[in-house]
Structure 1
Amino acid sequence: MFMSINKSTLTETDIITKFILPAVKDAGWDDMTQIRQEVKLRDGKVIVRGKVAARKKVKSADIVLYHKPNMPLAVIEAKANKHEVGKGMQQGLDYAKLLDVPFVFASNGDGFIFHDKTNPNQLETEIRLEDFPTPLQLRDKYCQWKGYKQSQLSVLEQDYYDDGSGKSPRYYQMQAVNKTLEAISAGQDRILLVMATGTGKTYTAFQIIWRLWKAKAKKRILFLADRNVLVDQTRINDFQPFGTAMTKVEKRNVDPAYEVHLALYQALTGPEESQKAYKQVDPNFFDLIIIDECHRGSAADDSAWREILEYFGSATQVGLTATPKETDEVSNTDYFGDPVYTYSLKEGIEDGFLAPYKVVRVDIDIDLQGWRPQKDQKDKHGETIEDRIYNQNDFDRTMVIDERTELVARTITNYLKRTDPMAKTIVFCNDIDHAERMRRALVNLNPEQVAKNDKYVMKITGDDEIGKAQLDYFIDPKKAYPVIATTSELMTTGVDAKTCKLVVLDQNIQSMTKFKQIIGRGTRIDDKYNKLWFTILDFKKATELFADERFDGIPEKVKVAKPEDINNGKDNLDDDEDDQTGIDSPFDGEESGDVNKPTPTYGGDTSSIPDDSGTPIDDAPSVRKFHVNGVPVTVIAERVQYYDTDGKLVTESFKDYTRKTLVKQFATLDDFTKKWNATDRKQAIIDELESLGVLWEVLEQEVGKELDPFDLICHVVYDQPALTRKERAENVKKRNYFTKYSETAQEVLNSLLDKYADEGVLEIENKNILKVAPFTNIGRPIEIVKKGFGKPADYEQAISELEAEIYRSA
């Protein structure tokens, strides 16, 4: 069945084509629908240093076998025959973990090592090529391993929506969908999905609904959100395939003629009985409810928005959030249960699906040292200022100092001028008043940009219809303006600003929930618009929250009281939520710490949502605020930190990063030089180092010399004196190394050496190098090789010897 070939001469690709695929197909696997080759599961982590970023190169799974597109079963990893048959097993197990499959096959063309998690008594066995299992065998073992019942399969085997574009769910989206459907088909009716901002929660929700709807397991679906922008983005984008079966609930009218309903909480309920539109239909009308951003309004037991979920209590309810809330008084897991799946920001950055960040921390003197008014000093409005020391927590809340506002605005402006004046920027301020003053300061500091377009800086807050109207333009990558948006709460969550490159924090933030949401404004990647990373400019020490263990994990469940015990007169405000938002935040009591609420809350950022008449709800309760000027203000410290491999912030140069990374691979200089000299083509090892995040351009900038990659590593990592390329080339020429070659060969090798001196070792290995000057003066490539070296293999040998001479001193 399998051809007689000298396998030792074959490449990995040959092994797959001539041995592995024939064995799989002979076992009955359909080449068109069940076999996928080169399956890329990760995008490659983005490494940032200075102003430069590059992706690590990632490998693809050689082959993934599927029962159906939504049900992967096995991974096959191949190696060339010179390797042992099980060489690829560990790599295959890594892919299998991402895909949540129990079967891994490793092969070098002689047979397979079969890793079978369904057989714990003998996890790995060796099988012949002829004995590869059939699709039915693996599918049955898979269903048994998962514990599926026959009644679940109509849902679990329902296909994803496919628009024909080739887009399919990423591995973590597939896991989130599959685990949700597993839970629903097994009878679970309260489900929580935790996925970091920017990882496609809405697309995941769409695929969940689509498969349940198409399988006829759920017939009437409600998608709930608390912001108009979330509903509209969902309807226009991810949910578009539902077409005429879908409607948006408006004017408090629930139309039973539709199957998929998208609604704001505010459109379904209100404080008056006449506003409770959800009661227009029976409690069993909806059989599936998806709650977007469920950490907000409906998380609290006494929220009036919870009454919607309780009314449709017989429906399966799925909560989506990036930031599950766990405080003394509010618990997502108390209502939904533990998450069926979690995909964190750290995982997203490590996989290359989310943008890493650089933090620029700016410390202002009066923030750290405080400011005290003179005796009986009056502010700009003639108010006598309370005599005390005002510090960072007071500024722009109870004390406004014009010079501080201007200094922050000037720092933002200078950063943009140094980097990219057209980089989309969100400035988070303490309240709407602060956002307006920041807008004004930025306008005055950017007259040239504002002259080009007066929407260069816009205040986008809940009270400003003109500003809110610009939100869609701000988040549209195709629209240049607005560039800078000043805001308070409106843009903290749910705003899909893919190309946002600068997030400015001039807001007091102690709430981990809010901090995660704000950071999420920058974590989306958009390769088309060269958005691979973003900067956080922090004036309020907010980024100290990165060091909190709760930042990238599931918060510990701390809610222990019964709902009826919660607001019985004691202050239940959890430290995590003590954001002082009760002073002047547009959030209602659910976020503000107003724990003794006399009436039900209607949750969320009310500043962003007008009432039925279109009138925005007030920004915040009034608070006494002093306003002064004439105070000298300066920046006393500034430091830059980067996202590190373990998810922590580090302050290091790229030389430090390279040294730390390389020492893990090559403990000594001898280890590195042996690897370098043993590699036939230096391109291979250069690519390998790039895949580890070594950015040659950045390294050259820090070292300040144009060095060969080899010398860069020797110099930076192992503290060796660096030779320039020209010095290495001259050393080769001094040794009269070329005299053993013919005159034509000497001319070619001398020219290659000059190319190396000018452009580096990769130029020597360029297959097309003989097609350009000065080689074209000698003849065509085939003529050069024949005349100077004899056979192509002899030319390749000469190139290897030339490289060995270049690095002989190593």
Structure 2
Amino acid sequence: MDKKALTERDICTKFITPALKQAGWNIQSQVREEFPVTNGRIIVRGRMHTRARPRRADYVLHYKKNLPIAIIEAKDNKHSLGDGMQQALSYSDALDAPFVFSSNGDGFLFHDRTGLFGQTETTLSLSEFPDPDTLWDLYCQHKGISPKARETVEQPYYDDGSGRTPRYYQTVAINRTIEAVAKGQDRILLVMATGTGKTFTAFQIIWRLWKSKQKKRILFLADRNILVDQTKNNDFKPFGQAMTKVTNRTADPSYEVYLSLYQAVTGSEEDQNIYKQFSPDFFDLVVIDECHRGSAAVDSAWRQILEYFSSATHIGLTATPKETKEVSNIDYFGDPVYTYSLKQGIEDGFLAPYKVVRVDLDKDLQGWRPSKGQTDKYGKPIDDRIYNQKDFDKTLILEKRTLTVAATITEFLESTDPYQKTIVFCEDIDHAERMRQALVNLNPKRVKENRKYVMRITGDEAEGKAELDNFINPEERYPVIATTSKLMTTGVDAQTCKLIVLDQRIQSPTEFKQIIGRGTRINDDYNKHWFTILDFKKATEMFADPRFDGDPVKVYEPKPGDPINPDDETTDPDTEEPSGGCGEESGDYDVDPDSDWTYDDPDWIIGGPGEGGDTGGRTRYVVDNVDVEVVAQRVQYLGPDGKLITESLKDYTRKQVKEQYATLDEFLRRWQEADRKQAIIEELAEHGVFWEDLIKDVGNKLGDEPDPFDVICHIVYDQPALTRKERARQVRKQDYFAKYQGASRDVLDALLDKYTDAGIEPIEDVKVLSLAPFTHIGSPMELIQAFGSKSDYQQAVKALEDELYQQSS
């Protein structure tokens, strides 16, 4: 047998798998081949999308079903033994598996990340591969897992047989948490981006701790009813009769898993503190959902619950850990045991990418100053000063600004999809109501179809709030547009939201990340794979803040005598409300525990005529006769590095392409040599070339769509661009078809027409022969036989492509 002639798959089947079996690994339960690590980053092409190639590890070895401990990367025998090592190490980073192997079928190169096996890299023969118990003992020694703790760590996750298993990052989060608990850590923080399955991860953690009897009574705390009900009815359903939802009546000690609202077990009166009906040591595990909110502040009423059950292990879950001078998740829980960021989720293809449309309004950029003696709509004299974006919709309402924003939203929807789920974030409830009215008046046709096309969904109004479930239900078309203030900032699983509008001044990275999280979910069934952010308040500048998507950083604590920023004393950066006021963080509320209560800015009431608009100590003016216009609109794209592209799309494209092809000659040579031109187009898309927008831009100047080849030649190498129609015309001038007769000539002629209409992609796919107009010429088999064979047909297509592009060589 010539080993050099074998494929990589042959090497796996004939050499690597037998070596594992010989070493005592159970191939069915402990060995996973072609293990899917990522889904492949979503690449947006206009209204279509594709995915980058998903990452798959050749082998992942598990000691138990849920415990990956080793990676093997295979190569064919033309490669050296260690050629796959660096790739394997990257999988090791992702999967938290410390034992890494590379093989070409001759043996293994073993890289030990624990430092316990001997030297870091060792060459092993095929017969020397370590057995499962050896690697597991080293793993436990490396992690500091005692023999007693192994019983908990080895407990498998819940598997209902449906095929739904934890993704790689969920597995790491679960295992790190289980190991921390098993080793006695009593305060644990998990940071996972919105849409990455925190609740499912929490369920698997609780399930394993509960089944192993490490934790016998568990309390799951949340501050919104919808979060508790979704959890109970979905991810936590397997707990069955062992689970209950705590009400504001009495505490029943006969259950093992309790789900509760803070509001259900606390109150301003002592007899409303239902949680005190349990003994302080009743629960041995408390899981706090969205732990950056209600109980995060030391002096909040809700923190008293955690202090009461302080002997229990506390696990905090959040997408946005809170670090301010008043509130610190890290102070309470310690550093996160695991962080999975929005950027990583998008890169892996588990979260939806986005593009940003920045809209600048003239009054926002220039400010506005009243004329001498000018009064507002209600006759109130307006203080003479320059009002800017910070004032708009707070101390000053320019009614035509609201109309301009609403008109821009409407124009965007009509030019893309008028029925895409849209959330408009406004400054307060009154702003949300004015925005609702403006959108209703600008969309009479849609509103006539259904009056719920636009709804205000805020915490103060039952009619709108009742539509929240319909808005987040993918099967319900209406409401389409939701105007809101704070209610939909967090905890709203809007799977099909495709447009997020920011007309709210956002200063907190925590709040910004929560808002962006409303659009990050992917829903294949409803074609939700990306979303757009329409930004009127420069909020997306927050993407450049290193705090936005990095690890949480402990804030600076001023020492006595240090200078103090006056803003720090008056403003909570996560609410933009006076600290100590009735913000969401104080927790001191007399609310219905079964409501979906949340906090909305109380400063929303506008005084009527003659009342002066005095709200909470602030004077608010309403001006109805000042025009507001859009002066600039700029689209920003998310690059493959997870950052927004700040330069022009052309400059960015030029830079990305020249990293691959430094000169025009290099690009031409690669294009001409490629068996499939579409492969180069897809490769450049993975590197950040936004074809749809570039083709549209160049096409607008040409009056017709150019070939992707011409887009690159024109934008990157300053060559004149041709349209597809012009390229096809040149081929026909050369009388290229003269050497073909009958059906073969008809096929090539139809392929050239197909290229003119749809581009290079369809003519490179033999399946095109099963579509019209080719079906009118003959069956796919007959058409291929007209050329002689499939190989002859493919050569003819390649020759046609050469002819299309020969004028550029």
Distance 1:130 1:350, change over 3 A: same
Letter in 2 for 1:81: N
Query: What secondary structure sits across from 2:518 in the alignment?
Result: coil
Cα contact 1:500–1:522 (8 A) shared by 2: yes
Structure 1, 675-684 or 504-513: larger mean CA deviation = 675-684
Cα contact 2:355–2:638 (8 A) shared by 1: yes
Which residue is equivalent to 2:445? 448
Which residue is equivalent to 1:588? 582
Query: What secondary structure sits across from 1:23 in the alignment?
Result: helix
Q: Within 5 Å, which residues of 2 pair with 1:178-197?
A: 178-197=175-194
Which residue is equivalent to 1:74? 70
Which residue is equivalent to 2:254? 257
Distance 1:309 1:212, change over 3 A: same
Which residue is equivalent to 2:602? 620
**Which residue of the other structure, out of 627, 652, 660, is the alignment partner of 2:655?**
660
Which residue is equivalent to 1:497? 494
By how many angstroms is 1:134 displaced?
2.2
| 1:530-553 Cα shifts (integer Å, max 9, x gaps) | 222222222222222222221112
Mapped partners of 2:289, 2:595: distance in 1: 25
Q: TM-score, normalized by length of structure 1?
A: 0.87
**Which residue of the other structure, out of 338, 360, 382, is the alignment partner of 2:357?**
360
**Structure 1 unmatched ranges of 5 or more:** 592-600
Distance 1:673 1:36, change over 3 A: farther
Mapped partners of 2:499, 2:298: distance in 1: 36
Query: What secondary structure sits across from 2:451 in the alignment?
Result: coil
Mapped partners of 1:464, 1:734: distance in 2: 70
Cα contact 1:512–1:576 (8 A) shared by 2: no
Whether 1:60 and 2:45 are equivalent positions in the alignment is no
Which residue is equivalent to 1:598? none
Distance 1:86 1:487, change over 3 A: same
By how many angstroms is 1:154 displaced?
1.2
Distance 1:316 1:456, change over 3 A: same
Mapped partners of 1:797, 1:415: distance in 2: 45
Mapped partners of 1:644, 1:422: distance in 2: 27
Which residue is equivalent to 2:696? 701
Mapped partners of 1:134, 1:409: distance in 2: 65
Letter in 1 for 2:660: Q
**Which residue of the other structure, out of 141, 146, 152, is the alignment partner of 1:144?**
141
By how many angstroms is 1:358 displaced?
1.8
Which residue is equivalent to 2:290? 293
By how many angstroms is 1:340 displaced?
0.9
Which residue is equivalent to 1:225? 222
Query: What secondary structure sits across from 1:645 in the alignment?
Result: coil
Query: What secondary structure sits across from 1:518 in the alignment?
Result: helix
Which residue is equivalent to 2:639? 644
Q: Within 5 Å, which residues of 2 pair with 1:535-684?
A: 535-558=532-555, 560=557, 573=569, 577=573, 580-582=576-578, 588-589=582-583, 591=585, 601-602=586-587, 610=592, 620=602, 622-623=615-616, 624-651=619-646, 655-680=650-675, 682=677, 684=679
Distance 1:436 1:177, change over 3 A: same
By how many angstroms is 1:638 displaced?
2.3
Q: Within 5 Å, which residues of 2 pair with 1:87-106?
A: 87-106=83-102
Which residue is equivalent to 1:331? 328
Which residue is equivalent to 2:36? 40
Cα contact 1:725–1:758 (8 A) shared by 2: no
By how many angstroms is 1:373 displaced?
3.6
By how many angstroms is 1:793 displaced?
6.9
Distance 1:370 1:677, change over 3 A: closer
Mapped partners of 1:50, 1:721: distance in 2: 24
Structure 1, 49-58 or 539-548: larger mean CA deviation = 49-58
By how many angstroms is 1:807 displaced?
5.9
Which residue is equivalent to 2:2? 6
By how many angstroms is 1:330 displaced?
1.3
Q: Within 5 Å, which residues of 2 pair with 1:339-358?
A: 339-358=336-355
Structure 1, 263-272 or 754-763: larger mean CA deviation = 754-763
Structure 1, 32-41 or 662-671: larger mean CA deviation = 662-671
**Which residue of the other structure, out of 469, 489, 494, is the alignment partner of 1:472?**
469
**Which residue of the other structure, out of 233, 237, 259, is the alignment partner of 1:240?**
237
Mapped partners of 1:311, 1:770: distance in 2: 72
**Structure 2 unmatched ranges of 5 or more:** 604-614
Whether 1:112 and 2:108 are equivalent positions in the alignment is yes
Cα contact 2:111–2:122 (8 A) shared by 1: yes
Distance 1:93 1:259, change over 3 A: same
Cα contact 1:196–1:344 (8 A) shared by 2: yes
Cα contact 1:294–1:321 (8 A) shared by 2: yes
RMSD between aligned residues? 3.6
Mapped partners of 1:637, 1:714: distance in 2: 29
Distance 1:65 1:611, change over 3 A: closer
Q: TM-score, normalized by length of structure 2?
A: 0.87
Structure 1, 758-767 or 235-244: larger mean CA deviation = 758-767
Q: Within 5 Å, which residues of 2 pair with 1:148-167?
A: 148-167=145-164
| 1:769-800 Cα shifts (integer Å, max 9, x gaps) | 77788799799859966x966x8778777777
**Which residue of the other structure, out of 405, 414, 417, is the alignment partner of 2:402?**
405
Mapped partners of 2:633, 2:770: distance in 1: 51
Cα contact 1:778–1:784 (8 A) shared by 2: no
| 1:631-679 Cα shifts (integer Å, max 9, x gaps) | 2222222222222334432245655444333322233334334444555
By how many angstroms is 1:473 displaced?
0.6
Mapped partners of 1:461, 1:511: distance in 2: 20
By how many angstroms is 1:338 displaced?
0.9
Distance 1:571 1:673, change over 3 A: closer
Which residue is equivalent to 2:305? 308
| 1:149-180 Cα shifts (integer Å, max 9, x gaps) | 21211111111111211111111111111111
By how many angstroms is 1:207 displaced?
1.1
Cα contact 2:453–2:478 (8 A) shared by 1: yes
Distance 1:464 1:762, change over 3 A: closer
Mapped partners of 2:310, 2:561: distance in 1: 22
Which residue is equivalent to 2:123? 126
Query: What secondary structure sits across from 1:458 in the alignment?
Result: strand
Which residue is equivalent to 1:597? none
Mapped partners of 2:67, 2:730: distance in 1: 60
Distance 1:792 1:466, change over 3 A: closer
Mapped partners of 1:453, 1:206: distance in 2: 39
Mapped partners of 2:489, 2:353: distance in 1: 18
Distance 1:752 1:40, change over 3 A: farther
Mapped partners of 1:110, 1:727: distance in 2: 55
Mapped partners of 2:637, 2:674: distance in 1: 33
Mapped partners of 1:617, 1:59: distance in 2: 42
Cα contact 1:57–1:690 (8 A) shared by 2: no
Cα contact 2:75–2:103 (8 A) shared by 1: yes
| 1:509-534 Cα shifts (integer Å, max 9, x gaps) | 22222222112111222222122222
Mapped partners of 1:369, 1:767: distance in 2: 58
Letter in 2 for 1:719: D
Cα contact 2:109–2:123 (8 A) shared by 1: yes
Distance 1:380 1:634, change over 3 A: same
Query: What secondary structure sits across from 1:501 in the alignment?
Result: strand
Identity of aligned residues (%): 61
Mapped partners of 1:674, 1:256: distance in 2: 75
Distance 1:658 1:282, change over 3 A: same
By how many angstroms is 1:99 displaced?
0.3
Cα contact 1:231–1:263 (8 A) shared by 2: yes
